[in-house]
């Protein structure tokens, strides 16, 4: 079992798309390639579970090391634990549905699918990397295609949004890079071993607390910007609103998760002293993200903006949980990443489909879609219920775990902010129900062109897969949360020892 296939499959898909002759061929190749990737990810999960079931207790499974630059001790080292496996599965689900959702792309279709899959390659590479160098490489690889995807195929003020998104994320990666290089230059305290970028090796040594104090904020903010950390979240609403459907899906569904994953895996795991010491600053910031994002969503009129602000709120919850430094809350953080990834992808897919029929995203102009396109309307409702945390759907599992975990911190500061964060559930209910009412219920506005037809086969497939995943996670969360819990052990132990 070699994880490098997770990169090779997309690369081969890209090459085949380059060689394809017409639109039909390119999109079929894209669908087949990403479908294979999805099957492979499922297979990976099964393998992972059997391996763990057989009593393999290694921290990282399926790990491989390829020497790359020996004088800098840089390896291309790969390996997965429960957290990365579940995020890989999430990525491939969203990538596959994203390709299906963009079945009708006509303008520069080849370039579209190529950029989309290159972006996903970056994400897959990021999740399997155990080396800070390759991790950073894939992080940047995932950001750059975004510029073209939003700039060329986007809508609205796309050029502004694309530039803002790219510069903010690259600026964040600049801060991140300094932090990573700082970790690298402290990775050999005795000088006996060469400096290393390897995460597992660095986690076994102790970086001086003085150095951690500098590098923790850099790394956390560097990744946090991607996770829409307040006040660096402003790229996200504009970016989401301007991006084409599949890109919004991948972006909110997967790219923002890289931020949470990076904070957990690098900032918290490798710089634990400073994490314990400085968590309070970022807890305050993420609490603001959660509440502010939810309030932001209430006042928006554009469907995509509503969902984008809701993403700020939900991703704030991820970072909030990560900072709680406790196993249950962190487990909730990862569950929330997956749950939010699935439902936000569903949201954006549905918004894209609705927009394709109504040619507007302004909720004031819509109404009664339940009568015109019942299938899409029901799906939208399910997504909304998942978002506000209805039991039986994925959102409930994730948020419940987070709040239970967060409340276990006994002091007033943590509990007070947890209660504040809990209030976002109510605010979420307000904006979700408001949108559902304005959009789906009420008298039908039949003036839209092309509103007669309901979902077609590819749209049905997209919604079916995503709803299946949301319901599945809501009804049977334990295989997933067990897988994640076990993998959190090293991180939590390292943080708790120092508490």
Partner 1 sequence: MTLDQILLMRHELLLIITAVIVVVIELFTERDNKSVIIPSVVFLFLLVTLAGFLPIDTGKLFGGSYQTSDMIILMKNSLNIGVLIVLIQSAGWLKHSFGNFDNAGGYYFIVIASLIGMQYMISAGDFLIFYIGLELATIPIAALAASEKMKRKSSEAGIKLILSAALSSGILLFGISILYATNGSLFFSSISADNLNSNLQVLAFIFIFTGVAFKISIVPFHLWTADVYEGAPINISSYLSSISKASAIFILVILLFTVFRSLLPVWNTVLYFTAIITMTIGNLFAIRQKNLKRFLAFSSIAQAGFVPLGIIGGTQLGVASVIYFLLIYIFSNLGAFGVVSAISNATGKENMDDYDGLYKTNPRLSLVMMLSLFSLAGIPPVAGFFGKFFLFTAAAVQGYYVLVFIAVVNATISLYYYLLIVKAMFINKNESPIETIVNDNYTRAGLFICVLGILFIGFAGVIFEFIESVSKGIS
Q: Does 355 bind partner 1 (CB under 8 A)?
A: no
DSSP state of 254: I
Q: Does 205 bind partner 1 (CB under 8 A)?
A: no
Residue 108's alpha-carbon distances to 23, 112, 113, 115, in angstroms, are 9, 6, 9, 11
Cα–Cα distance for residue pair 361/231, rounded to 1 Å: 26
Q: Which of 96, 133, 282, 348 binds partner 1 (CB under 8 A)?
A: 133
Q: Does 72 bind partner 1 (CB under 8 A)?
A: yes
Cα–Cα distance for residue pair 261/253, rounded to 1 Å: 13
Q: Does 151 bind partner 1 (CB under 8 A)?
A: yes
Contact assessment for residue 313 and residue 290, using Cβ atoms and an 8 Å cutoff:
yes
Question: Within 10 Å of residue 371's Cβ, how many Cβ atoms?
Answer: 15
Q: Does 113 bind partner 1 (CB under 8 A)?
A: no
Q: Does 7 bind partner 1 (CB under 8 A)?
A: no
Q: Does 418 bind partner 1 (CB under 8 A)?
A: no
Q: Which of 4, 156, 209, 214 binds partner 1 (CB under 8 A)?
A: 214
Q: Which of 42, 167, 299, 456 binds partner 1 (CB under 8 A)?
A: 167
Residue 48's alpha-carbon distances to 57, 79, 86, 248, 498, in angstroms, are 11, 11, 10, 30, 30
Contact assessment for residue 373 and residue 314, using Cβ atoms and an 8 Å cutoff:
no
Q: Does 19 bind partner 1 (CB under 8 A)?
A: no
Beta-bridge partner residues of 134: none
Instruction: Estimate the crossing angle of helix 374-387 against helix 457-475, to 10 degrees.
Output: 30
Question: Within 10 Å of residue 95's Cβ, how many Cβ atoms?
Answer: 31
Candidate segments 168-176, 200-208, 246-254, 419-427, binder of partner 1 by CB under 8 A: 168-176
Residue entry with tokens 């559902």: 436
Beta carbon nearer to partner 1, 137 or 200: 137
Site track 178-197 with partner 1 (rule: CB under 8 A), x = hit? x--xx-xx---------x--
Q: Does 12 bind partner 1 (CB under 8 A)?
A: no
Q: Does 431 bind partner 1 (CB under 8 A)?
A: no
Binding-residue total with partner 1 (CB under 8 A): 36
Please confirm whether the linkage preceding 231 is cis (ω < 30° from 0).
Answer: yes
Residues from 73 through 92 that contact partner 1 (CB under 8 A): 74
Contact residues for partner 1, defined by CB under 8 A: 67-72, 74, 133, 136-138, 140-141, 144, 147-148, 151-152, 158-159, 162-163, 166-167, 170-171, 174-175, 177-178, 181-182, 184-185, 195, 214
């Amino acid at each position: 079992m070699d994880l490098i296939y997770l990169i090779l499959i997309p690369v081969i898909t890209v090459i085949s798309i380059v060689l394809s002759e017409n639109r039909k061929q390119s999109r079929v190749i894209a669908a087949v390639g990403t479908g294979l990737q999805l099957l492979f990810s499922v297979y990976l999960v099964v393998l992972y579970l059997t391996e763990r079931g057989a009593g393999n207790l290694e921290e990282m499974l399926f790990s491989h090391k390829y020497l790359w630059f020996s004088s800098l001790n840089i390896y291309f080292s790969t390996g997965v634990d429960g957290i990365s496996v579940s995020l890989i599965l999430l990525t491939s689900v969203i990538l596959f549905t994203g390709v299906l959702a963009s079945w009708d792309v006509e303008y520069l279709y080849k370039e579209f699918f190529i950029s989309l899959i290159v972006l996903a390659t970056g994400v897959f590479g990021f999740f399997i990397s155990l080396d800070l160098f390759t991790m950073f490489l894939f992080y940047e690889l995932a950001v750059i295609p975004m510029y073209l995807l939003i700039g060329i195929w986007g809508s609205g003020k796309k050029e502004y949004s694309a530039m803002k998104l790219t510069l903010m994320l690259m600026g964040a990666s600049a801060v991140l890079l300094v932090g990573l290089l700082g970790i690298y230059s402290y990775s050999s305290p005795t000088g006996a071993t060469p400096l290393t970028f390897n995460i597992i090796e660095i986690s076994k040594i102790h970086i001086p607390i003085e150095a951690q104090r500098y590098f923790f904020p850099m790394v956390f903010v560097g990744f946090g910007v991607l996770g829409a950390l307040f006040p660096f979240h402003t790229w996200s609403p504009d970016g989401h609103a301007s991006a084409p459907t599949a890109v919004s899906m991948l972006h909110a569904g997967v790219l923002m998760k890289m931020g949470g994953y990076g904070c957990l895996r690098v900032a918290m795991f490798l710089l634990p002293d400073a994490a314990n010491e400085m968590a309070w600053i970022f807890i305050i910031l993420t609490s603001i993200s959660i509440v502010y994002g939810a309030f932001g969503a209430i006042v928006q009129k554009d469907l995509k903006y509503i969902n984008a602000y809701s993403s700020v709120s939900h991703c704030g919850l991820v970072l909030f949980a990560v900072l709680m430094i406790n196993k249950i809350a962190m487990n909730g953080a990862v569950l929330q990443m997956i749950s939010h990834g699935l439902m936000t992808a569903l949201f954006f897919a549905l918004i894209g489909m609705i927009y394709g029929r109504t040619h507007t995203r302004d909720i004031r102009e819509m109404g009664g879609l339940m009568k015109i396109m019942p299938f899409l309307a029901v799906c939208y409702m399910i997504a909304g219920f998942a978002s506000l945390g209805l039991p039986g759907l994925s959102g409930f599992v994730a948020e419940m775990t987070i709040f239970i975990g967060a409340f276990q911190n006994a002091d007033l500061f943590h509990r007070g902010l947890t209660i504040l964060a809990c209030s976002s559930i109510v605010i979420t209910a307000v904006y979700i129900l408001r949108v559902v009412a304005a959009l789906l219920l009420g008298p039908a506005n039949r003036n839209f062109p092309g509103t007669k037809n309901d979902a077609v086969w590819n749209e049905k497939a997209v919604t079916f897969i995503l709803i299946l995943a949301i319901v599945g996670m809501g009804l049977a969360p334990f295989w997933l949360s067990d897988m994640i819990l076990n993998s959190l052990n090293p991180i939590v132990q390292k943080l708790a020892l120092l508490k």
